[in-house]
């Protein structure tokens, strides 16, 4: 086994995270650059150090998880959800069950809550928001954002749901209450079920083809009949019928029975 393979095995034993389910070239490049920056000549000595120093481990996990996000990321796609798909889902039932998977800093679940708030009472809304990274979930729960993260938020929603506390924007408690944040590893934890909408964007690109296929199968099982999966703008599913999905719009898939 190579130095890197032994390292991935050790990381799996220590954290439960299987780095082999992420595309190797990218992951190895990212982790090697961090290792070099920290002054370790190989992964063996790097592991010995991070096994003893929680800060080093936490930095490694940060590096592997890439937390970039923003509200209404790729806003044209979100408009499809807002104007076409959500109203259709709401015709059938008002208390939709929604999961924002790999939610990072929370921009995505908060976007969904603001959108739904235009159609239904916010008290009726429960969105499960999950990520593998506990630190990022803590930040998400605080709901504090830079101007940049909000650049696509329509101005009336920005005025309604954010308070400006120089130099940041803080999200309203009513929106926060609609979200339940929880740690969840898409590659190893059991999947919750009975969802009408699953939003999972800009994480599947990091996974191997086999890992992706397994995630699609599990999402399909987690969706109710006619439930919708919304993926990122580079994450089109090839042969969606393999997972009981039909395409209902670009980057939106509907569960068919």
Ligand X SMILES: C[S@@+](CC[C@H](N)C(=O)[O-])C[C@H]1O[C@@H](n2cnc3c(N)ncnc32)[C@H](O)[C@@H]1O
Number of residues this chain uses to bind ligand X (CB under 6 A): 22
- Cα–Cα distances in Å, from 226 out to 55, 88, 117, 165, 222? 44, 11, 22, 42, 12
Q: Which stretch binds ligand X (CB under 6 A): 26-34, 46-54, 179-187, 233-241?
A: 179-187
Q: Which stretch binds ligand X (CB under 6 A): 27-35, 83-91, 185-193, 235-243?
A: 185-193
Least Cα distance to 4 among 22, 26, 39, 31 occurs for: 31
Q: What is the DSSP letter of 22?
A: B
Q: Which stretch binds ligand X (CB under 6 A): 30-38, 42-50, 195-203, 234-242?
A: 195-203
What's the CA gap between 10 and 82, in Å, rounded?
A: 44
Least Cα distance to 40 among 65, 77, 3 occurs for: 3
3-state helix, strand, coil in the chain (%, to 5): 50, 20, 30
Least Cα distance to 149 among 68, 66, 72, 70 occurs for: 70
* Residue 123: CB minimum distance to ligand X, A: 25
Work out whether 82 is an interface residue with ligand X (CB under 6 A).
no
Nearer to ligand X by Cβ, of 96 and 231: the residue is: 231
Work out whether 201 is an interface residue with ligand X (CB under 6 A).
yes
Work out whether 57 is an interface residue with ligand X (CB under 6 A).
no
Nearer to ligand X by Cβ, of 67 and 214: the residue is: 67
The one among 15, 67, 75, 126 contacting ligand X by CB under 6 A? 67
Work out whether 212 is an interface residue with ligand X (CB under 6 A).
no
The one among 136, 171, 198, 204 contacting ligand X by CB under 6 A? 136
The dihedral sign for the CA sequence 81, 83, 88, 89: positive
Q: Which stretch binds ligand X (CB under 6 A): 33-41, 130-138, 156-164, 241-249?
A: 130-138
* Residue 111: CB minimum distance to ligand X, A: 9
What's the CA gap between 57 and 51, in Å, rounded?
A: 7
Binding residues for ligand X (CB under 6 A) = 65-69, 73, 102-104, 107-108, 131-133, 136, 185-187, 201-203, 232
């Amino acid at each position: 086994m190579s130095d890197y393979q032994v390292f991935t095995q050790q990381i799996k034993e220590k954290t439960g995270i299987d780095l082999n389910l992420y595309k190797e070239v990218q992951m190895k490049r990212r982790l090697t650059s961090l290792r070099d920056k920290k002054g370790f000549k190989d992964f063996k000595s790097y592991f010995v150090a991070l096994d003893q120093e929680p800060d080093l481990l936490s930095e490694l996990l940060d590096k592997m998880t890439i937390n970039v996000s923003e509200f209404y990321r790729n806003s044209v796609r979100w408009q499809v959800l807002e104007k076409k798909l959500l109203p259709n889902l709401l015709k059938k039932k008002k208390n939709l069950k929604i999961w924002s998977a790999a939610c990072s800093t929370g921009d995505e679940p908060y976007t969904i809550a603001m959108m739904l708030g235009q159609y239904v009472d916010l008290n009726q809304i429960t969105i499960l928001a999950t990520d593998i990274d506990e630190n990022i979930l803590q930040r998400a729960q605080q709901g504090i954002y830079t101007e940049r993260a909000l650049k696509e938020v329509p101005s009336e929603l920005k005025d309604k749901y954010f308070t400006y506390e120089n130099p940041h924007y803080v999200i309203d408690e009513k929106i926060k209450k609609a979200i339940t944040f929880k740690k969840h590893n898409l590659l190893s934890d059991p999947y919750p079920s009975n969802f009408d909408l699953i939003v999972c964007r800009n994480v599947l690109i990091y996974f191997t083809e086999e890992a992706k296929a397994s995630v699609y199968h599990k999402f399909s099982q987690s969706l109710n009949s006619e439930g919708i999966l919304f993926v990122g703008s580079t994450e089109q599913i090839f042969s969606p019928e393999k997972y009981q999905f039909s395409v209902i719009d670009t980057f939106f898939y509907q569960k068919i029975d």
